[in-house]
Amino acid sequence: MKPSTDLDLNDALMARARRVIPGGVNSPVRAFRAVGGTPRFIARAQGAHMWDANGQRYIDYIGSWGPMILGHGHPAVLEAVRRAAAEGLSFGAPTEREIELAEEILSLVPSMDMVRLVSSGTEAGMSAIRLARGATGRSKIIKFEGCYHGHADALLVKAGSGLATFGNPTSAGVPAEVVQHTLVLEYNNLAQLEEAFALHGDDIAALIMEPIAGNMNFVRATVEFTRRCRELCTRHGALLIYDEVMTGCRVALGSAQSVYARHIPGFAPDLTVMGKVIGGGMPLAAFGGRRDVMEQLAPLGPVYQAGTLSGNPVATACGLATLREIRKPGFFDALAHQTRRLAEGLSAAAAAEGVPFSADCEGGMFGFFLLPELPRNYAQVMKSDGARFNQLFHGLLARGVYIAPALYEAGFVSGAHSDEDIDATLAAAREVFRSLSI
């Protein structure tokens, strides 16, 4: 591991970036505002590692916030991208590879009969909501506090002032009128869910949820809560939308819905939103679902959605190569094993020093809290020790371990993380937890 130089190029690059980019970053969480300090400007990455502008190496548990399930620079993916780029960067016309990628996605997630490719998770979530409203002829939607579905106006909303009331905007520039049809409920709260459908069931177009909320770090929907969401949507004619941008082909080959289907026979959402892994690191996302709903999209139906770069030939090549690699026998067993080793090892390291800590994982996704028990909703997540997390983050970073620079973001393990990477991470964690216990 190369030490930082006396001239910190990260500081210099951040000063330069602030002059031309708001906050110096093109996505807010990269700014280190929550944890303090200077963001690391990444120069290159390979396998499970990244190197910053100073040449400092880090074990990477961000993985581009989820897409790099194979690790960085996987040979099969790079070769597919090279071939596609040589054939053309963009056509604005259909390609056979779009069909191949759609077929691959549908084979992995059988709840979807049809799928449409787009360029970002935000675009996919926004389009799924529009489609649900168009297909049902209704306006109201339900979302859950702490679940993030992209930065579309109607979804940038926090809980209202009372039980089952409509939400309030969480961003400047979002008029209250835009979120007036969005109900925000507490995650895993059955009583609020029942009341919302009792009051508004005939007007609800869709319920959108993260099955494992990765923007609360890692909070699972309980099986009971998931089952009731499905039952109430079916009873009232609303569509159940599963936001699997984070969890899709990440927590299991068949995504989170396959995990819940083990406990709820016949379980399937009506629409699914996907991104990250299916693009392999390129700008690509998708939404899909039942044929009768998807056929409401233009050019077949009245719900309009379009995109100049949707189904981009280079992005589809990257995604297709990634999906073909992760469906190879044994890949997910090995990935889940390494992720469990990490989560259990972190828990043991914290326990040895008497630091309140809890962790959970599924497939290649994990999360932890500086709390003695795993939280079930946003209010409980907010009780995690933010000051201690910042110490943990910077302690790990100084030892060459890069986790998310925010208390409320999940982490990701890749197929490239070796036993040595996990061992080095746990050794660093033991040192940091020792300092936290003082």
Choose among 245, 253, 298, 297: nearest CA to 275: 245
Instruction: Supply the angle between the helices 313-326 and 96-108 in degrees, to the nearest 10.
Output: 30
Catalytic site residue from 148, 242, 260, 408: 148
Is 385 in the active site?
Answer: no
Can you read off the two tokens belonging to residue 420? Answer: 């040595």
What is the C-alpha to C-alpha distance for residues 148 and 139, in angstroms, rounded to an integer?
Answer: 20
CB of 316 within 8 A of CB of 101?
A: yes
Is 6 in the active site?
Answer: no
Choose among 276, 301, 278: nearest CA to 290: 301
The DSSP 8-state label assigned to residue 238 in this structure reads P
Catalytic site residue from 276, 378, 408, 421: 276
Sign of the CA dihedral 361, 254, 309, 46?
positive
Is 148 in the active site?
Answer: yes
- The b-or-e profile of 69-85 (16+ CB within 10 A means b, else e) is bbbbebeebeebbeebe
Instruction: Supply the angle between the helices 419-436 and 331-352 in degrees, to the nearest 10.
Output: 20
Catalytic site residue from 52, 60, 243, 421: 243
Choose among 256, 251, 144, 258: nearest CA to 208: 144
Choose among 40, 84, 46: nearest CA to 63: 46
CB of 96 within 8 A of CB of 313?
A: no
Residues involved in catalysis = 148, 243, 276
